[in-house]
Structure 1
């Protein structure tokens, strides 16, 4: 094991402290925590003894409870007394068309404001979920963008009133495109009862979340339809898979079989860890043995072997950044690694700064450029895996642990993770506003993925490769002195048959440029490097000059739909996983506290100028060899086909007894001669309508109400036909016992 001297840091006090975001995870009192939550209630009368129940929950190893609705003050006090954070869920009618009935959403805003005034300052309250699983058919009915904007409005309101709290929307896989842009983390309710399916889905959530942590906000198993032993087994491997995949926390559904849904006592389900009499089930017993030992996400990462790493940092006049970089590297919690700094002809105090860190090897070379410096570091490395990062980066303490797990489990030849911009201090707004803008501006180094686990490109600030693979392709090309070396390296690595992976938890903090001028200068340098790439890899570029990626480019933002998005809804909107089709993920939002008029204006300027500056540099520096570059056929852009204008719509509302669902209406209409609607030239997976008969198209949604079914039907007719409900549709609706409101 290598030991390093790191400057002494001040200790932080423990206890139930404020919960904060820490990159892809959470922290409290300066220490990383794994959120271990269990859902609590709502309960039918009589209400439980909160003090006794919170004591049992804490004794089982949980550190948080998730509730649905406004918290009871006695429950909050009991949770605080036993060291439990409370995740509060705002309750309102999100299952109805709250955009058409504006009073419903206005009531949600009022309830949030009043609730935060009443309980938002309580020290046990840590997180507020502003909604929970808006039904997919209602999202489609109201419009994805409008629903997302409503959720974001609730989050903005809550954050202004209680900035110390964390805010999120409890999503589910069917509407994963509904991620709010301004949430503090991604919360996802996931019910997959096969371990293989669950394990395969979790890495996707890192990419859905972008830079944010991921919390599994519900997971459970009904011990009535299954068995108590099956519940025990499933909840245990669920915890193991969440830890192994780098989730920030998980939530067991539920604490008790005593459960009230609206006004109905749920006596036909049994998701609880305790039964209606309070008896502890086998799942409680096994979790109470496992959970207390899990304090951080890394506690669950068991390495079958411990590969040796050589962390290589190349720097040129980066002395002012090296202290923070090396402090972070030397604090990495991993048993077998060395640190090498290649000083690429610096004329500042780099050598002096590196000399303060005992155990770090310094290699001084003449100014040979970034690629040659990286090759020199590899020559000196003794580890079997070389981990490259930059002098403006601070790797996370668990960086090598997550990478080792990825290399051992998937046998990658190279691997990497996200690079996250740190949030500047809010107190110095005018001093750091440019840094905040640059963090959200386009053009930052990023990864490109074929799927949720395999990469097409990894940026050099978080590029980790087996030494044998690096040597097999001859290392980095020395022509790339400042930038572009990682792109060339990854393309050559893949061309040689090597595979690159991605680990969403293996992140580094990457400080971007601190002024817009430096940012534009950096983008010019990137364009200059792209000119070299065009010379060496002409087949990878379009005729217009842009790089031609086969995978998806990740830009740090959450995977939320925008006005131009194409969403996979499935035929009649019934796909279990309705995903948004993107080639470039949304950009990062402005950091909280910097989203003001000045920052928005500067960000707009950056978004306009960045591609022009980069394109100009690419054009200027490619003139001398452009004549020798073969022209490549340009890939056709995605075209969204528009239908002929129909022009006339009609909406109707149908009432019926509980038990009539949207699917019942769709099946009955199909039996009456309606067909699944296909837009000409596209797959039915991307449709905005459900069924078609003749020249009439239909969309069906169901509002969620207690004691009745309320079906919403939207029809579209050709212009000039007039608005009327077809006679055959009336017969079908009446045959189902539905009456028009």
Structure 2
């Protein structure tokens, strides 16, 4: 079995074609790959010959296809013969009320299981989409947390049956709140026809995904409503933007205009690269020319000339860390970047650090008496030759493309400082898994999708002029807190901090629970120092106050580890649930889930105990070391309890609507009889006399509206239902 920092995988002749996840990208047989995918079918009769058609797909520069429904053996064999990975969308009634009863959900599970067992072991199959674009109205109707739990349950079932496959949910912006926490990668269908809008949305996907890769699972343009030249232009620039944003792949929708869906031939749109008669549109040749230039996720960066890339000085500070340093320096020696140097600053170590560094001839070793981390960082900067100082830690192993993504971030957005994610390697035991999921680890703090308020010192890069302008790091911080103070002072001086979702480093956490809690005690002491130096950023008996959101590396899920809706999750459905981009916002991000194999009840209990102890230890240490000056801090604002929400009971009902009546027409008719849209987002779409009504149209029942009445205590739904029926009858 080969060891990697992502999911473990077997490498032999039988499965060399399999895809794996390593950090923020996909990999196969040890080589990083960029997924160049196109949707293929379902087709009306006559069916295409898979062998000849997929040979054409491969010659067009694609390396994967996405299909909807169960694949045939003939198609999978042809895909394998042509070197194409297959992303399979399992077909089950996800646009129906699939959670209406326990038996209906068991039927879904059984259908899902039978499908996987039928084709899941085929070597061409790489990944499985457990569902595609759950309707946001239906999610509100079924309740968001129940839908997320259902998706996560299917992913777990699939992983049990086919552990060699990757699993995800094909999401879209209208229901980003349905992102499952346990997927192997984050996938989004995005139809934005303005390049600026498209490029502006991609950084958000990195934050929704957390530690995992981001794949565009559908993108395209309808040539019945747009010119074929516009389609070609869009598909070429979307590929370029996905590459420049550090995404793991993209999926063109679709290979052909020939399409069969919902039991009928679809002829009212034309998204294909090929027309219905089989002839190629201009987009096919134009996109092929671009795809053939893409040999990996960094292909978009390789087009830039040498002058584009600044000289970077990588600075690693160490104190008695020789046992960790070799792996760090090996990773740094393999960076795919032309103009960089590596400086190791030994802060008074008593181990064999000189011997370890001596094994790497291109690494400069600078030594100082033990003076602390900040002093070591400053000494490294004073000896550096680069335009940019890139700081990482001795327990980190940067990704080979780390400096490329960092330099690109500086150049494209003119940041003064820049950083990226720090990912824990795959846990080798229970303690490592618990520490990786526990709170208090190094995290970035984001003001929006691109601007950071804080970047942790394990992945912190800064321009020389900005560094020198604020005087570098404050030497009072010996062990921790230096990066927090540094970032705050940068922002106070008017400098901007950016974030690159692809510029990641592997960061080994503490190896035992004792060492983790000891580290948190050190963080508490550093917080006390920060309190003294930055009293305006603290309140008495509290930790630091942040303007932005602290990210943990977990996917941005709306559901907590118990499967219920997280109280901290806020979903912007919009009035009557009609917001096109229904964003999920979290003030506190969820913790990373425990790694597979270490997520049993015993481990979950240990994680809860360790998390409780971490808060107590860090708070007590901060309290003790700030005892001489914390009385000078402002008191925390008093806690204001939210007004208790009025209690409602719910009753579900149905209304028959006249054929062809649209949602807006329905709302207008209801407004004529006194129902109004709520002035702010509510659980319901219409309200009248202390009664709310949530509405849902199921795709397979277009002439029936599902209605959930929210009734104040003592009220019944019969009057409301009767007046709605009467109003609709009058409209017929």
Q: TM-score range by the shorter chain?
A: over 0.9
Q: What is residue 588 of structure 1 aligned with on the other side? A: 592
Counterpart among 708, 726, 730 of residue 725 in structure 2: 730
Q: What is residue 21 of structure 1 aligned with on the other side? A: 21
For 1:6-45, list aligned pairs within 5 A.
Answer: 17-45=17-45
Distance 1:652 1:108 in 2: 24
Distance 1:30 1:638 in 2: 54
Post-superposition shift, 1:175?
1.0
Contact 1:92 1:104 in 2 (8 A): no
Q: Aligned pair in 2 of structure 1 residues 199, 619: CA closer, same or farther (>3 Å)?
A: same
Contact 2:655 2:725 in 1 (8 A): no
Q: Aligned pair in 2 of structure 1 residues 516, 13: CA closer, same or farther (>3 Å)?
A: same
Post-superposition shift, 1:200?
0.4
Alignment partner of 1:449 is 2:446: yes
SS at match of 2:718: coil
* Unpaired segments ≥5 residues, structure 2: 1-10, 560-564
Q: What is residue 488 of structure 1 aligned with on the other side? A: 485
Distance 1:736 1:639 in 2: 46
Alignment partner of 1:107 is 2:107: yes
Q: What is residue 665 of structure 1 aligned with on the other side? A: 666
Post-superposition shift, 1:597?
2.2
Distance 2:248 2:311 in 1: 26
SS at match of 1:293: coil
Q: What is residue 352 of structure 1 aligned with on the other side? A: 355
Deviations 1:43-81 (A, max 9, x none): 111111011111010001101000111111100000000
Counterpart among 509, 530, 536 of residue 533 in structure 1: 530
Distance 2:92 2:304 in 1: 45
Distance 1:363 1:340 in 2: 7
Counterpart among 372, 394, 409 of residue 397 in structure 2: 394
Distance 1:39 1:538 in 2: 56
Distance 1:729 1:657 in 2: 12
Contact 2:654 2:705 in 1 (8 A): yes
Deviations 1:217-276 (A, max 9, x none): 010100111011110000000100000101111000011101011111111110001111
Q: What is residue 179 of structure 1 aligned with on the other side? A: 179
Counterpart among 325, 344, 366 of residue 322 in structure 1: 325
Contact 1:703 1:709 in 2 (8 A): no
Post-superposition shift, 1:735?
4.5
Distance 2:285 2:418 in 1: 38
SS at match of 1:387: strand
Q: What is residue 715 of structure 2 aligned with on the other side? A: 721
Post-superposition shift, 1:638?
8.2
Q: What is residue 7 of structure 1 aligned with on the other side? A: none
Alignment partner of 1:687 is 2:682: yes
For 1:30-109, list aligned pairs within 5 A.
Answer: 30-109=30-109
Distance 1:607 1:345 in 2: 33
SS at match of 1:675: coil
Contact 2:318 2:347 in 1 (8 A): yes
Contact 2:436 2:509 in 1 (8 A): yes
Post-superposition shift, 1:546?
1.2
Q: What is residue 606 of structure 1 aligned with on the other side? A: 610
Q: Aligned pair in 2 of structure 1 residues 724, 57: CA closer, same or farther (>3 Å)?
A: same
Counterpart among 628, 631, 634 of residue 633 in structure 2: 631
Stretch deviating more after TM superposition (527-536 or 715-724): 715-724
SS at match of 1:634: coil
For 1:161-310, list aligned pairs within 5 A.
Answer: 161-301=161-301, 302-303=303-304, 305-310=308-313
Post-superposition shift, 1:666?
2.4
Post-superposition shift, 1:659?
4.3
Distance 1:42 1:538 in 2: 62
Q: Aligned pair in 2 of structure 1 residues 82, 636: CA closer, same or farther (>3 Å)?
A: farther
Post-superposition shift, 1:632?
2.2
Stretch deviating more after TM superposition (593-602 or 124-133): 593-602
Counterpart among 594, 600, 625 of residue 621 in structure 1: 625
Report the TM-score when normalising by structure 1: 0.93
Q: Aligned pair in 2 of structure 1 residues 83, 512: CA closer, same or farther (>3 Å)?
A: same
Post-superposition shift, 1:734?
2.9
Distance 1:715 1:666 in 2: 15
Deviations 1:147-204 (A, max 9, x none): 1001100000000111110000011101111110110111111110000100000000
Distance 2:338 2:660 in 1: 59
Alignment partner of 1:462 is 2:459: yes
SS at match of 1:129: strand
For 1:354-393, list aligned pairs within 5 A.
Answer: 354-393=357-396
Distance 1:194 1:378 in 2: 42
Counterpart among 315, 328, 336 of residue 333 in structure 1: 336
Contact 1:317 1:350 in 2 (8 A): yes
Distance 1:654 1:484 in 2: 60
Q: What is residue 574 of structure 1 aligned with on the other side? A: 578
Distance 2:421 2:639 in 1: 28
Contact 1:93 1:104 in 2 (8 A): no
Contact 1:16 1:80 in 2 (8 A): no
The RMSD of aligned alpha carbons is 1.8
Post-superposition shift, 1:657?
7.3
Contact 2:657 2:728 in 1 (8 A): no
